[in-house]
Structure 1
Amino acid sequence: MIGLISAPTNLGLRPPVPGGTPGTSKAPKALREAGLNRRLVDAGGVELGTVLAGRYVADPDLPAGRLRNQEAILDHSQRLAVRIEQALAAGHSPLVIGGDCSLLTGTGLALSLRGRHGLVHIDGHTDFRHPGNSTSCASLAGEDLAAAVGMHWPSIADVDGMGPYIAPQDVVHIGCRDDDEQLDEVRDVVASVITAAELHALGPCAAAQRALDVVSRPGVAGYWLHIDVDVLDPTFMPAVDSPSPGGLSPDEFTTLLATVAPGALGAEVACFDPDLDPDEDYARLLSDILVTGLGDLGSGATALPA
């Protein structure tokens, strides 16, 4: 049974303009108004409440070795981890509606408490900026995968001594563009990378099966889906903070999700920005994709007890 958790955060993003505030914290409300929650509840899901984040602060003069909104991100991550763990313990398949990609720290913490887990990281970018390859680390939403596999400052990547939250050999990334700055490094670190161009060539079902071959191996207790909607081509989904051409079509995206969702323990959806969707067209499109693609989330998953 899908358990819906709202996580309205924008803490991991840079300001869209000087002095501005990212709009991703409005996504859970916008998607609810577009009918997402009602449709999933009508299909048997349950509402599990909201995990609110702290106030966004732009922090233009960050000291070295520190993320924007770091304390607020850590607080939100720890509270989100508790809510996800409670959902899993109750037998639900959590669907976290965010929010930005900093959500992955909270879900990583929850999963690490339950043993070894895989991750299917579906994103238009690798999100692999880290202190070893950049002097500009500041926004966790562009660094979440690096943090999840232990390649960030310990204050982020080893919260409560639980890092790495996901072992690199249990990670598949799907959806980045061929010009992604960290693509070569990510190919060397994680088990498998399938770019958007490669998915176009393979087809979404074959790409999904390649991912499942990694995250469903013996010894892996289950796997999680991280979904950044900027994996869609901006022709179809421009309401994101970092649109990039060459992405998936709605049909490709829906088929990919529908193929990987049944075996997953849960999923998170990130980086939809309602501020860029004044007519609510993209909220309705995304709701349609998620209802169809994630409607069977967790229906075939087997979770080990905590």
Structure 2
Amino acid sequence: MSYTTVIEVPQWRGSSSPTARRLVEGARLLADMAPDARRVRVEVSESLSDTASRVRQALPESGFAFTAGGDCGVELEPIAAAHRRYGDGLVVVWFDAHGDLNTPSSSPSGAFHGMVLRALTGEGPAELVPSQPLDPRRVVLAGVRDLDPAESAFIAESGMHHLPDPASLIERVADLSPSAVYIHIDLDVLDPATFSSVGCPAPGGLQPDRLLSLVKGLSDRFEIAGLGITEYEYEPTLPRDQALLASLVSVLVTTCAQL
């Protein structure tokens, strides 16, 4: 019998946003929006590596896991675990406004949420690089539209797939013949004119119905290894954003868990 585990990780210290502390409440609300499931809340540390270790211990040995962040750095261990399980058959689809492909030396902010995907491919703070790095050619950036020069150079050199307009996303993933797909969603992939409760908005993003359609297309074709949704900065004066997420998150989790 399949079941879902919701892992709430209210990490904010990896973010560069001046309002990053709002991610704590955002993580709780995202976890609340998931359908009924086993729930685990990770107590975060001042040390990102300590928090990563706690996330690793919280991950279930079987069943589907939905990680509710927190900043994008919370995805380090769930994706590393999926890679250990599926090996090079795994494809990671990274829905985000940003590439999160900086290194400590190239990052303008020094914030780990802008380095986590690069760390997963083997370059980053030593204590946060997994023992089995991802092949960048097994990563598809979807909706990414705000890149630093060093990130653009890495994409070109590494063979990572970049689809600012993800119209051909399903076909591109299919070309990689995945055994499973991990889906990461940073909510700043959405257009800020529609959803603005994020710390680093970038114009020209996806509409919620298009995001859902793309995720459903992936779920219809491939096994989904896990789902992470991150970077919701809860702002009490923006109830419209919470109402939008309340319906969207539940459907995303149900769709990805293939319930």
TM-score normalised by structure 2 residue count: 0.87
| Structure-2 separation of matches of 1:167 and 1:213 | 15
| Structure-2 separation of matches of 1:153 and 1:27 | 26
Cα root mean square deviation, aligned: 2.3
Tell me the secondary structure at the aligned position of residue 102 of structure 1.
helix
Who is 2:209 aligned against? 251
| Structure-1 separation of matches of 2:146 and 2:27 | 30
| Structure-2 separation of matches of 1:21 and 1:256 | 28
| Structure-1 separation of matches of 2:70 and 2:121 | 21
1:114 aligned to which of 85, 99, 104: 85
The answer to whether the 8 A contact 1:129-1:137 is kept is no
Tell me the secondary structure at the aligned position of residue 66 of structure 2.
strand
| Structure-1 separation of matches of 2:153 and 2:252 | 29
1:1-306 → structure 2 map (5 Å cutoff): 1-16=3-18, 21-31=20-30, 36-37=33-34, 40-41=35-36, 46-55=37-46, 72-84=47-59, 87=60, 89-90=61-62, 92-116=63-87, 117-131=90-104, 134=106, 136=108, 138-158=110-130, 162-164=131-133, 166-177=134-145, 181=149, 182-195=151-164, 198-199=165-166, 202=167, 206-214=168-176, 216-217=177-178, 221-261=179-219, 263-275=223-235, 277-299=236-258
| Structure-2 separation of matches of 1:27 and 1:54 | 17
Tell me the secondary structure at the aligned position of residue 206 of structure 2.
coil
Provide closer, same or farther for how the CA distance between residues 112 and 211 of structure 1 changes in structure 2, counting only shifts above 3 A.
closer
Post-superposition shift, 1:51?
1.1
* Aligned residue pairs, count: 252
Provide closer, same or farther for how the CA distance between residues 137 and 167 of structure 1 changes in structure 2, counting only shifts above 3 A.
farther
The answer to whether the 8 A contact 1:261-1:293 is kept is no
Tell me the secondary structure at the aligned position of residue 295 of structure 1.
helix
Identity %: 22
The answer to whether the 8 A contact 1:101-1:144 is kept is yes
Question: Which 5+ residue runs of structure 1 have no aligned equivalent?
Answer: 56-71, 301-306
Post-superposition shift, 1:184?
4.4
The answer to whether the 8 A contact 2:143-2:163 is kept is yes
Post-superposition shift, 1:32?
5.1
The answer to whether the 8 A contact 2:93-2:142 is kept is yes
**Which runs of structure 1 show a deviation greater than 6 angstroms over 4 or more consecutive aligned residues?**
none
Instruction: State the AA in 2 paired with 1:235.
Output: A
CA deviations over 1:65-90 (Å, ceiling 9, x no partner): xxxxxxx1111111112222xx2x23
Question: Which 5+ residue runs of structure 2 have no aligned equivalent?
Answer: none
Provide closer, same or farther for how the CA distance between residues 50 and 178 of structure 1 changes in structure 2, counting only shifts above 3 A.
closer
CA deviations over 1:216-268 (Å, ceiling 9, x no partner): 43xxx533111101000100111101000011011111111222245211111
Post-superposition shift, 1:180?
5.2
Post-superposition shift, 1:106?
1.7
Task: Pick the structure with greater CA Rg.
Answer: 1
